[in-house]
């Protein structure tokens, strides 16, 4: 029986790309005959994360996490996040000489710098220590792998992302809230927080109506500053799919995302993408002509409005959750096969020796 222990500080009811990626991958693996043991905050008492109250930080002792992993026998272990549960799992695996993989989902150095002005070098020091002990670090794109290599983390493997083409598709009826809005409708979906750079979108001088879907700590401030913008809050399921399909283009002002699932959801819904020429949009759009990237966001929006919706839909078909799950499956199987060997990344980066 194939068995995976998935350790993550991010889990439902959080709504974000990390949780969607982990849950979708776990579901596919279970369909393929895997048993997935999820060690997540919902199994423990938890506290709200400062400035991110919807994110719960598990109050789990290292011993409790160790027992759950040990009970899984010779299961493969994947540590998805660098928070309290990830730390406890890392400590146990190193102490028990148990191989594990990690994944890099979030540019915390950029996020913490944007929110608290914490020097990026300090965050990277921690991330090198945390991920340096893994047998492999799973990353969404080659560009992200190159970025980590620049920080000394060279033992990366690609774990891409997908989109549900049955759920996100063109032709769905638009939300009632769109009635009467001036066209074109420019849409942004995601967490409403300073690191997402949404203000760049809202301040862009462009024709039409701007719509923001999502919740977060910056929502109240942005609503007060931009009464002309339609803020719909967090949407899920068919309501979210209709919000995509009823818009004209998707605007992605973030400069810090490692991938951006919302980008492929927008493409699948027939929305050309406007954004900056940075990792995430560059990786997803490639040379597909399904979007427009420019250092001037207003200029990118103007160009995106001329792109046929068919180009966006064609690009979305390149992203498959089944393919992404196979990449993940291969990585964790290879890691589990290393049990009892000395195979370990031969690096020592600011203390990243693999010692807990």
* CATH code: domain of residue 222: 3.40.50.2000
* Contact between residue 103 and residue 86 where contact means Cβ atoms under 8 Å apart: no
User: pLDDT tens per residue, the chain (356 residues)?
Assistant: 699 999 999 998 888 899 999 999 999 999 999 999 999 999 999 988 776 777 788 999 999 999 999 999 999 999 999 999 999 999 999 999 999 999 999 887 776 767 778 899 999 999 999 999 999 999 999 999 999 999 999 999 999 999 999 999 999 999 999 999 999 999 999 999 999 999 999 999 999 999 999 999 999 999 999 999 999 999 999 999 999 999 999 999 999 999 999 999 999 999 999 999 999 999 999 999 999 999 999 999 999 999 999 999 999 999 999 999 999 999 999 998 877 655 444 333 333 333 33
Residue-number span of the structural domain to which 111 is assigned: 3-162+322-336
221 assigned to some structural domain: yes
Q: Do 327 and 297 share a domain, yes or no?
A: no
Same domain, 135 and 208: no
CA 290, CA 117: separation in Å to the nearest integer? 35
Is residue 170 a part of any domain in this protein?
Answer: no
One domain, residues 196 and 306: yes
Whether residues 213 and 138 share a domain: the answer is no
What is the pLDDT at residue 242? 98
For residue 316, how many other CB atoms are within 10 A of its CB? Answer: 24
Characterize the bridge pairing of strands 291-293 and 156-158: unpaired
Q: Would you call the peptide bond into 4 cis, given omega within 30 degrees of 0 as the criterion?
A: no
User: Residue 353 falls within a domain, yes or no?
Assistant: no
Q: 168 lies in a domain?
A: no
Tokens of 94: 């190193």
58 in any annotated domain: yes
| Whether 191 and 249 share a structural domain | yes
Q: Is 274 inside any structural domain?
A: yes
pLDDT of residue 355: 35
| Distance from C-alpha of 135 to C-alpha of 353, rounded to nearest angstrom | 12
Residues 239 and 260 in one domain: yes
Same domain as 19, residue 143: yes
| pLDDT of res. 290 | 98
- Shared-domain flag, residues 9 and 140: yes
Beta strands 52-58 and 46-49, pairing class = antiparallel
Q: From residue 288, how far is each of 34, 73, 162, 262, 299 by CA, in Å?
A: 35, 45, 16, 17, 19
Note the pLDDT of residue 114: 74
Report which of 334, 340, 263, 331 is spatially closest to residue 104, judged by C-alpha positions: 331
* Cβ atoms < 10 Å from Cβ of 196: 24
Beta bridge partners of 79: 7, 102
Hey, is 6 helix, strand or coil? strand
pLDDT of amino acid 338: 79
Task: Indicate if 245 and 187 belong to the same structural domain.
Answer: yes
| Nearest CA-CA partner of 36 in 47, 24, 49, 27 | 27
Residue 300 domain flag: yes
Q: Are residues 153 and 260 in the same domain?
A: no
Largest separation between any pair of C-alpha atoms in the chain: 65
Is residue 342 assigned to a domain? no
**pLDDT for position 1:** 60
Is the same domain home to 299 and 328? no
Number of Cβ within 10 Å of residue 288's Cβ equals 15
Which residues make beta-bridge pairs with 210?
186
Q: Are residues 307 and 250 in the same domain?
A: yes
Give the count of domains, the chain: 2
pLDDT at 247: 98
Dist CA 169 CA 242 (whole Å): 9
Assess contact for 56 and 47: CB atoms under 8 A.
yes
Tell me what pLDDT residue 354 has.
Answer: 36
């Amino acid at each position: 029986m194939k068995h995976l222990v998935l350790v993550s500080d991010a889990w439902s009811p959080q709504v974000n790309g990390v949780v969607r990626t982990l849950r979708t991958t776990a579901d596919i693996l279970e369909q393929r005959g895997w048993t997935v043991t999820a060690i997540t905050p919902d199994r423990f008492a938890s506290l709200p994360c400062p400035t991110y109250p919807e994110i719960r930080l598990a109050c789990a002792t290292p011993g409790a996490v160790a027992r759950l992993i040990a009970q899984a026998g010779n299961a493969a272990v994947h540590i998805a996040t660098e928070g309290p549960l990830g730390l406890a799992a890392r400590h146990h695996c190193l102490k028990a000489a148990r191989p594990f993989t990690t994944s890099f989902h979030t540019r915390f150095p950029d996020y913490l710098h944007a929110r608290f002005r914490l020097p990026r070098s300090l965050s990277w020091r921690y991330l090198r220590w945390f991920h340096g002990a893994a047998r492999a670090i799973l990353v969404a794109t080659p560009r992200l792998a190159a970025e980590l290599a620049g920080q000394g983390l060279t033992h990366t493997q690609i774990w891409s992302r997908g989109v549900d083409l049955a759920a996100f598709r063109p032709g769905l009826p638009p939300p009632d809230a769109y009635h009467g809005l001036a066209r074109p409708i420019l849409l942004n979906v995601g967490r409403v927080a300073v690191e997402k750079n949404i203000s760049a979108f809202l301040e862009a001088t462009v024709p039409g109506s701007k719509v923001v879907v999502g919740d977060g700590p910056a929502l109240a401030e942005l609503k007060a500053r931009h009464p002309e913008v339609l803020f719909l809050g967090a949407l899920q399921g068919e309501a979210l799919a209709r919000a995509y399909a009823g818009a004209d283009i998707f605007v992605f002002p973030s400069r810090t995302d490692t991938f951006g699932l919302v980008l492929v959801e927008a493409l699948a819904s027939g929305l050309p993408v406007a954004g900056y020429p940075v990792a995430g949009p560059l990786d997803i759009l490639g040379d597909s002509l399904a979007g427009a990237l420019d250092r001037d966001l207003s200029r990118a929006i103007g160009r995106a409005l001329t792109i046929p919706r068919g180009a966006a839909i064609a690009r979305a078909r390149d992203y498959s959750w089944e393919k992404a799950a196979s990449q993940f499956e291969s990585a964790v199987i290879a890691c589990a096969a290393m049990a009892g060997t000395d195979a370990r990344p031969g690096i020592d980066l600011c203390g990243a020796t693999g010692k807990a």
